[in-house]
Amino acid sequence: MTPSAPSPVTGTPNEAFLEALGPALDAVALPEKAAGMAAYMKSTMPYKGVPSPIVRKTVRDLAREHPFTNAAVLAASVTELWAAATHREERYCAIMLTDSKLGRGDPGLLPFYATVIGTGQWWDFVDSVAPRLWDLLHKDRAGMEPLLREWSVHPDFWFRRAAIIAQLPAKSATDTRLLAEVIEPNLADKEFFIRKAIGWALRQYARTEPEWVRDYVGGLGERLSPLSRREALKHLQAP
C-alpha cells in the first residue's frame, strides 16, 4: 500500500445494522427541519431532518443491538453505507461509526477516510474524519507522516485541509515539524477553507504551546494571510 493509494476495503458488511439504520432514522426524523438543514450546509443531498445528537444516539443504540464483530466488518459497513446513502445523515452515521474502540486507529479505515474527503467535498465531512487521521498518525507515524505530506500538496484542496487539521486533537503530542511542513506549501493559497484550516490548526495548538505559535506566526510575517493570523492568535493575549 502506498500512502497516496490506500488498499481497497475488504470484508463483509454488517447487513443487520445497515438494514435497520434507515427505519431507525426515519423514526426520529423531523421532516420540517430537513430543508433548512440542507440549505445551511448547501447540500444537494437531502436531509431526513435528524439533529446530530440524535443521529449519534441512533448509531450507538443500533451498534449495541447489531454489534460489529471486527474492524474489517466495520470498514466494509461504513464503506457500503457511504456509497449507498440517499440522505446526508446516513453519511454522518458512517463517519460516526469510525469513532469507536473498534475503529479508532485502525489502518483498514484509511481508504474510507480518503473516500470521504475525495467524494464528500465539504467541510462537515472532511472535518469529521480529521480526528481519525490523528488516531492513525499517533499509532503509525512512519506510515502516516508521508501520507500527510503528500496530501498537503494534493491538487484537491480538501485533502490539503485534512492534512493541515489532522493534528487538532494532539495537544502536547503535536509534531510541530510536521505541522509546519503541511502548512508551508499552502501559505500562498487564497482558498478560504485552506486559510481557515491553517488558522484553526495554529489556534488549537496555541492552547497547549502559545509561545511556539506566537513565534511561528511572527516568523511567517506577511506570508501568513490575515485570516490565518487572526484565527491563530484569536485567544492569545499580546505579549
Cell reading at 69: 464483530
pLDDT given at position 5 = 46
pLDDT given at position 8 = 55
CB neighbour burial string for 99-120, b if at least 16 within 10 angstroms, e if fewer = eeebbbbbbbbbbbbbbbbeeb
CA distance 185 to 201: 15
Q: Among all chains, which residue has been given the C-alpha cell 504551546? A: 209
Angle at 42 between CA 61 and CA 79, to 5 degrees: 45
pLDDT given at position 4 = 46
pLDDT given at position 215 = 97
- pLDDT less than 50: residues of the chain: 1-5
- pTM equals 0.92
Q: Among all chains, which residue has been given the C-alpha cell 432514522? A: 25
**Alpha-carbon Rg for the chain in angstroms:** 19
pLDDT given at position 237 = 65
pLDDT given at position 11 = 78
Beta bridge partners of 233: none
pLDDT given at position 135 = 96
- Show the DSSP H helices in the chain as ranges: 15-28, 31-41, 52-65, 71-84, 88-97, 110-120, 123-139, 141-151, 157-165, 176-183, 192-206, 210-220, 226-232
CA distance 113 to 2: 15
Tens of pLDDT, residue by residue over 95-151, are: 999 999 999 999 999 999 999 999 999 999 999 999 999 999 999 999 999 999 999
